[in-house]
Amino acid sequence: MSTATVEELTEVAAPEPFWTRQRRLGLGLIIFGGLAAVLFGALAPSETARFTLSDDAQGAALSINGQLGAILFGVLAVAAGGVLFAGLAKQYQNLLLSLGILAFVLSFLCWQVAGKFLPLVDTTSGTLQLALPLILGALAGVLGERSGVVNVAIEGQFLMGAFAGALIGTMAGSVWAGLISAAVGGVIIAAILAVLSIRYLVDQTVVGMVLNLFALGITGFLYERLMQPDAAGFNTPPRLPSWSIPGLADIPVIGPVLFQANLLVWLALILVVVIHFGLSRTRWGLRTRAVGEHPTAADTVGIRVRGLRYLNVLLGGVVAGIGGAYFTLVATGSFTKNMTAGAGFIALAALIFGRYSPFGALGAALFFGFAQKLATYLSAVGSPVPSQFLNMLPYIATIIAVAGLVGRVRAPAADGLPYVKG
């Protein structure tokens, strides 16, 4: 674009552009923090906002005057933004950013909760529950995409998992049979995706989208033919039991959320660690990343590109299928048509927003889960902020992330490209 003259080239080290990522983020935080302090502060009634450490209004609580809190946290966000903008404390950039965002959220909460109460345990466990399928779905995406296969069929895998879990779980009368069949359900979709995209070289996004519609159709069809006429026989799966770890479950807030939970919560968190460790420290992980970034080079050193891609996509199917089991075996206890309602696409968003890494996906999924939980809380207390707009948050955040307005997200280099030996 710009034509560089010879004189310019001879200059040593071009000066850093003024609008660095840090400055842009800082400015954003200052604007949003200022808005929060002024707007939320002005709108918040000067009443106590109580954040109770329990499931309801009872018990100990953290209390703060709503108006004061809204202004205080808004100013804090501005301060964090200011430090970023001034270019100070460069090594703590991410910490400052997180602090600023947290302060903004707290300012918002002080405004909304003023005169009311927000049960922290309920909010946290609700966030984790809502994030659960997103974590598993995003992990499925990580497995596929890091080896170079785009997986937009997470939604379809969720649906098949949820359906198979409910159907087989009911017929076998065992929640474990349900869980395994859910994984199989996810694998079925994953297998079609793998064969068509790896063996038959069909565009991966196209296959993924068509598979979503296929899963929607086939689960809806079998639901109406089998489950609706005979719910007792086909659609009353046993629920996954909740287990409590004695001792640890008594820790305030964290205890009931983390240590009084169902198996899926632990499984998801363990999988995050395992997949992170696997990708970064094991032979499988190195090969997966090689295949996802530069399959030709990987093939040259003797890695079986297609075989590894098959393996990873199928493993992703297992994980996403178990994520689908959440909907029937944990959340509701029965299957309904299109019950995942786009959760697979939020998982895809979490995957991208989390920069294709397991821990990033976990963070993004928790953030999105929190937004959803907050949306239900706000509509329950009759807040003027429409829940639909809060529910838009994951999607808007993802667009901002991929557009590189706040640090570009980079996909694996060979993501979506079929590999043809030759």
Partner 1 sequence: MTAEPRKSDEDSFVSHFVRNLWSANSVTVTFLSAFLAVVIGAILIVVSDSEVLAKFGYFTARPSDALSSSWELITTAYSDLLKGALGDPAAYSAWFSGSGTWQEALAPISETLTYAAPLVFTGLSVALAFRGGLFNIGAQGQAVLGCITAGVVGFSFGLPIVLNLLVALLAGLLGGALWGFIPGILKARTGAHEVITTIMLNYIASLFLSWLVLQKGVQDPERTDAISKAVAESAQLPSFGGVLRVHLGILLALVATVAVAWLLNRSAFGFELRAVGANPHAAETAGISVAKTYALLMAVAGGLAGLGGAVQVLGTAHALTPAVAGNIGFDGLLVALLGRNKPWSTFFAALLFGALRAGGNRMQTFSGISLELVTVLQALIVIFIAAPALVKAIFRLRASRNLRAGVTLAKG
Judged by the rule CB under 8 A, the positions of this chain that interact with partner 1 are 152, 192, 196, 200-203, 205-207, 209-211, 213-214, 216-218, 220-226, 230, 337, 342, 345, 348-349, 352, 386, 388-389, 391-392, 395-396, 398-399, 402-405, 408, 411, 416-417
Rounded distance between C-alpha atoms, residue 151 and residue 269, angstroms: 21
Minimum CB–partner distance for residue 390 and partner 1 (Å)? 9
Minimum CB–partner distance for residue 105 and partner 1 (Å)? 20
Of 120 and 374, the one with the shorter C-beta distance to partner 1 is 374
DSSP string, 366-413: HHHHHHHHHHHHHHHTT-SS-HHHHHHHHHHHHHHHHTTTTS-----T
* Cβ atoms 414, 147 nearer than 8 A: no
Of 69 and 292, the one with the shorter C-beta distance to partner 1 is 292
Rounded distance between C-alpha atoms, residue 128 and residue 111, angstroms: 24
Of 86 and 399, the one with the shorter C-beta distance to partner 1 is 399
C-alpha pair distances (Å), 235 with each of 103, 158, 205, 264 = 45, 17, 32, 20
E strand or H helix at 49: strand 48-52
Minimum CB–partner distance for residue 396 and partner 1 (Å)? 7
C-alpha pair distances (Å), 58 with each of 14, 122, 151, 157, 376 = 61, 12, 45, 41, 20
Of 63 and 387, the one with the shorter C-beta distance to partner 1 is 387
- Listed in order, strand segments (DSSP E) in 255-334 are 260-262
Rounded distance between C-alpha atoms, residue 370 and residue 37, angstroms: 22
Of 62 and 341, the one with the shorter C-beta distance to partner 1 is 341
Minimum CB–partner distance for residue 249 and partner 1 (Å)? 36
* Cβ atoms 131, 368 nearer than 8 A: yes
And the tokens for 89? 């404390």
CA neighbor of 30 nearest in space, from 72, 80, 70, 68: 80
And the tokens for 396? 């808007």
And the tokens for 365? 């999924």
Of 215 and 265, the one with the shorter C-beta distance to partner 1 is 215
Of 64 and 194, the one with the shorter C-beta distance to partner 1 is 194
Of 239 and 306, the one with the shorter C-beta distance to partner 1 is 306
Minimum CB–partner distance for residue 1 and partner 1 (Å)? 11
Q: 């909740």: which residue's tokens?
A: 242
C-alpha pair distances (Å), 225 with each of 163, 228, 229, 385 = 13, 7, 7, 41
Minimum CB–partner distance for residue 217 and partner 1 (Å)? 3
Minimum CB–partner distance for residue 121 and partner 1 (Å)? 28
Give the rounded distance of the alpha carbon of 74 from its chain centre. 26
Amino acid at 289: R
Minimum CB–partner distance for residue 185 and partner 1 (Å)? 15
Minimum CB–partner distance for residue 346 and partner 1 (Å)? 8
Of 68 and 411, the one with the shorter C-beta distance to partner 1 is 411
